[in-house]
With several copies, the nearest count.
Chain A
Amino acid sequence: MLDSFTVDTRREGPVWVFSTHGYINNVGGETIAKRFEEAHADGGSKYLFDLGDSKIINSIGVSFLIEILERILETNGTMAFCNCAPIIEKTFKIMGIMQYATIYPTVKEALAGMREAV
């Protein structure tokens, strides 16, 4: 079944963690952006996107992530990703997202890395 897209949001210390489930297309991207804006309004500057349960992304979904990145950079925040499928990591590399965001293998490593960072 093409699962309907969902995002779980939680806070781990200073880091907002968004776990996505499903295809990151226009609908998925928009949902992530909404959840992000809610968290952002709540305060915080560190945002981790756990994409472990999203096997595919498309360029429309990606455009929402750039929108989010712009918002995060505006407030000197940090954006990170983890559990990326190889094809998603490749997509981010092609776009140059890695200049602005870090990709960690796991949530655990991401949280460790992001807590340390200023």
Chain B
Amino acid sequence: MNSAREDITHPESVKEINLTIPMIPDMEIAAGKTAEAVAEVMNLDEDKTAEVSMALIEACLNSFEHSHSEDRKVYITFRVEDSELTIILRDKGSGFDPESVEKPDLERMLRPGIRKRGWGLKLMESMMDSLTIESGPGGTVVTMKKKR
């Protein structure tokens, strides 16, 4: 019958997808959808797929909103391995000190006049199996992993 696709084998090492998005409203959705597709292709279940997508959306929004990067771009790498998906997100912004970010506390927040924001990092951390942030004057690198 028809010939199947030729030559689609590959070394494990090339299972890397790169995505660069501009810091434009709703573009985080494009990143989230790409994450979904990558997660689907590696057969993550629906819940994990949605969690990965949301974590990446939050990471993008942080860069959009807080990085003050001049090139207004977010650089994302998806690394697919047998056991896990690693997402590395970079911005060339002014950076921040993750240690000095206050943990959000809903009870405290429910008092009048207290800012309700500050959930992004907490959500990213909870949605993923690991989250590490390296940040400095050259920008921020967020590395997130999700086990299969």
A residues engaging B (CB < 8 A)?
1-2, 23, 25-26, 29-30, 33, 56, 58-60, 62-64, 66-67, 69-70, 73-74, 85-87, 90-91, 94-97, 99-100
- The bracket for how many chain B residues form the interface is 35 or more
| A60-B50 contact in complex given A2-B40, A2-B43, C-beta closer than 8 Å | no
| A33-B1 contact in complex given A67-B116, A70-B110, C-beta closer than 8 Å | yes
- Taking a contact as CB atoms closer than 8 A, the residue among B1, B4, B106 that contacts A67 in the complex is B1
| A62-B119 contact in complex given A30-B1, A30-B4, A100-B110, C-beta closer than 8 Å | yes
List A contacts of B117 (CB < 8 A).
59-60, 63
| A85-B50 contact in complex given A1-B40, A2-B41, A94-B122, C-beta closer than 8 Å | yes
List B contacts of A87 (CB < 8 A).
47, 50-51, 53-54
List B contacts of A99 (CB < 8 A).
106
| A59-B123 contact in complex given A1-B43, A2-B26, A69-B110, C-beta closer than 8 Å | yes
A49 to chain B minimum Cβ distance, whole angstroms, is: 16
- A56:B57 contact, CB within 8 angstroms: yes
B112 CB–A CB distance under 8 Å: yes
B50 to chain A minimum Cβ distance, whole angstroms, is: 4
Instruction: Determine the residue in chain B with the shortest Cβ distance to A33.
Output: B1
- A86:B47 contact, CB within 8 angstroms: yes
B residues engaging A (CB < 8 A)?
1-2, 4-5, 26, 28-29, 32, 40-41, 43-47, 49-51, 53-54, 57-58, 61, 104, 106-107, 109-112, 116-117, 119-120, 122-123, 126-127
List A contacts of B123 (CB < 8 A).
59, 91, 94-95
- B5:A26 contact, CB within 8 angstroms: yes
| A70-B1 contact in complex given A87-B50, A91-B123, A95-B119, C-beta closer than 8 Å | no
- A58:B58 contact, CB within 8 angstroms: yes
List A contacts of B26 (CB < 8 A).
2, 23, 25
Q: Among B2, B51, B58, which residue has the most Cβ atoms of chain A within 10 A? A: B2
A-B contact pairs, 29 of them (CB 8 A): A2-B29, A2-B40, A2-B41, A2-B43, A25-B26, A26-B2, A30-B4, A56-B32, A56-B53, A56-B54, A58-B28, A58-B57, A58-B58, A59-B117, A59-B119, A60-B2, A63-B117, A63-B119, A66-B116, A86-B47, A87-B47, A87-B50, A90-B51, A94-B123, A94-B126, A95-B104, A95-B119, A95-B123, A100-B110
